[in-house]
A and B are shown apart, each in its own frame.
Chain A
């Protein structure tokens, strides 16, 4: 059973427009959510995160929105640039007091920015 789901394997967006990547989760214990960006033959790179006590976090062109009641988060990239073309992973973490056991990842969304 997938606890973190990214239902769009790929997304194509024109340069300069907004890219919206979606993620759903099922585990109510998740309290911290992260987005990673990955280029081919490289490791994932941390992009932005959000705690479950917030509903929005912004960093430059990147904004993450969290809707706890719907168990849904989204990543907005505005404006989209050619260098944003990559695979984006949604990940979640559950802190149990003793510490988090690791991240649970979605399968990723391949974002393609068209010129």
Chain B
């Protein structure tokens, strides 16, 4: 019972490089989310996907793009990484958007030099 799986767990990039963070869930949830957590801060919503085929911006979407590949997978892309994007990224999924209990992956720790 894997739940929400994120890859990679760690990544170091140089400024201007691009990369895609992968997320997959095996709970048949409709909604998926990407958050970032910076030191001493709570999690902040980057993008979310209410259902397959839809995506919407969250609180801090600048510098990111997302793709809801299918019901299971939701990827986050950094086209040109900046040091300000150094953070821990969490993917989450939820079944019921009314209750919105979200289940999180273990996170991707990203450093941009």
Q: Which of B40, B41, B50, B90 contacts A44 (CB 8 A)?
A: B90
Cα-based distance from A103 to B31 in the complex (angstroms): 12
Question: What residue of chain B has the Cβ atom nearest to residue A92's Cβ?
Answer: B100
Count of A-B residue pairs with CB < 8 Å: 74
Q: Which of B50, B92, B103, B106 contacts A42 (CB 8 A)?
A: B106
Interface size band for A: 20 to 34
B45 in the interface (beta carbon within 8 A): yes
Cα-based distance from A6 to B42 in the complex (angstroms): 10
Residues of A within 8 A of B (CB): 4, 6, 9, 32, 34, 36, 41-46, 49, 51, 89, 91, 93, 95, 98-108
Q: List 16 A-B contacts (CB under 8 A).
A: A34-B100, A34-B102, A41-B107, A43-B104, A49-B99, A51-B99, A89-B43, A99-B50, A99-B98, A100-B100, A102-B35, A103-B33, A103-B100, A105-B35, A107-B40, A107-B41
